Amino acid sequence: MADATSLPALKDKWKIPEKPLSQSFRCCDKIATTVRNVAGNYDFCGCSYVLDKGSHPIIVREATERFSCSILLFQDIIQRVGISETASAIICRAHTQLETIRGEVNYSDLKGLTKELAQASFFRDCRKDYKRAYEIVANTIQAMTEGSDLWARMDEFPESEATQLIKIAIWRFVKSQSGLPAVNLSGTEWISQLRQNLGLLITELGIKDAPNLNLKIKKTGLADTQLKLPLFEVQTLFPAIRQTTIHQVKGESIDAVLVLGSAKFWNSVVDSIISETNSEDRRLAYVAMTRARHLLVVGLPASHFDKHAAKWTKWGFRLQ
């Protein structure tokens, strides 16, 4: 129930003098004096590191959906200035960008319950979100077997031992790749294993009149060429560079940082700066940018860049 507006509200209510922290020990002064225009804290400054390899913060016009322009430039700069890839990070506003740069999703054309279960594999293997994967699988099995009285018994006796054993069985199925197949399998292998393993689970749950899984788990939507591909193909262009989200790097200091986000996110940041409002997107942009110790690169989608590049340069960012 945390609320970022509570402290400013108390400041106004109790008339408390504001004394913002003005110096960062996480980033060099070149970065700090530019990013303070984003934050709105105009006393903000950084540290004069002896190893100040970077330059002024850079903005890049990103013309591709996979952010390849920004990533290739970032790799070129860190190599040129001598910053290790292992001391660098690509920081994304959301999982959407993170998944885009990590690999290629090939299951999105699947249909119905099959697509739902493919997403469960993705949540488990790519996001490590076991809870979400469990919810998808549990809901899908119930949808497949809606005629069974098992679910009514579970609703009636939610704390019973029988109900708990059913939940444990589904959890074990989700947690293990010998249950819910791995997302890196080809479409053909994944569908075949899913039918087999799901059939075993339904039998274990004691569901009578089990559905025909050949009719429930289908390859409909995937072309023959797609069936030969993994459901999710991992991108290996930058294996040594960490890829993460803004929320996962709070409190860190990283030698070189590339910040990526959608046009909608960056539009919100610019609007907040201009209107001098303290929005969540503006705060997140500030957090991401101030993780950079020596080098900061910001990849701006072309639609945003073309409209707002002049504003970013006015705030101290350099075009690349």
User: Of 165, 195, 230, which residue is a domain's last?
Assistant: 230
With respect to residue 166, please indicate whether it lies within any of the assigned structural domains: yes
Domain count, the chain: 2
The three-state secondary structure class of 278 is coil
Integer Cα distance of 261 and 68 in angstroms: 13
With respect to residue 302, please indicate whether it lies within any of the assigned structural domains: yes
97 and 241 within one domain: yes
Tell me the two tokens of residue 80. Answer: 């040129």
With respect to residue 1, please indicate whether it lies within any of the assigned structural domains: no
27 and 89 within one domain: yes
Question: CB-based burial of residue 46 (10 Å sphere; 0-12 exposed, 13-18 middle, 19+ buried)?
Answer: buried
pLDDT tens-digit readout, 111-126 = 999 999 999 999 999 8
- Quote the percentage of the chain above a pLDDT of 90: 64
What is the residue range of 157's domain? 107-230
214 and 121 within one domain: yes
Integer Cα distance of 231 and 57 in angstroms: 37
Q: Could you tell me the CATH number of the domain that includes residue 287?
A: 3.40.50.300
Tell me the two tokens of residue 226. Answer: 């797609």
Integer Cα distance of 47 and 28 in angstroms: 5
166 and 271 within one domain: no
The three-state secondary structure class of 243 is strand
With respect to residue 50, please indicate whether it lies within any of the assigned structural domains: yes
pLDDT of residue 45: 79
User: Of 164, 197, 230, which residue is a domain's last?
Assistant: 230
Amino acid at 176: S
DSSP code at position 246: G
Strand partners, 299: 60, 260
pTM: 0.70
pLDDT of residue 10: 86
User: Of 230, 245, 279, which residue is a domain's last?
Assistant: 230
The 3-class secondary structure across 45-102, one letter per residue, is EEECCCCCCCCCCEEEEECCCCCHHHHHHHHHHHHHHCCCHHHEEEEECCHHHHHHHH
16 and 129 within one domain: no
Integer Cα distance of 41 and 35 in angstroms: 9
With respect to residue 140, please indicate whether it lies within any of the assigned structural domains: yes
121 and 202 within one domain: yes
66 and 128 within one domain: no
Integer Cα distance of 31 and 126 in angstroms: 32
Considering only the C-alpha atoms of the chain, give the largest distance between any 2 of them, rounded to a whole number of Å.
72
Per-residue tens of pLDDT for the chain, all 320 residues? 677 678 888 888 999 988 777 777 788 888 888 888 888 887 787 776 645 555 689 999 999 988 989 999 999 999 999 999 999 999 999 888 888 887 778 888 999 999 999 999 999 998 888 999 999 999 999 999 988 889 999 999 999 999 999 999 999 999 999 999 999 999 999 999 999 999 999 999 999 888 899 999 999 999 998 899 999 887 655 667 898 999 999 889 999 999 999 999 999 999 999 999 989 999 999 999 999 999 999 999 999 999 999 999 999 999 98
With respect to residue 66, please indicate whether it lies within any of the assigned structural domains: yes
Q: How many residues appear in the chain? A: 320
pLDDT of residue 240: 77
pLDDT of residue 178: 95
Inter-residue contact 260 to 90 (CB < 8 Å) = yes
Strand positions, DSSP E, the chain: 23-28, 45-47, 58-62, 88-92, 103-105, 232-234, 242-245, 254-260, 292-301, 318-319
DSSP code at position 127: S
Q: Which residues contact 50 (CB under 8 A, 6 or more apart)?
A: none
Rg (CA), the chain: 25
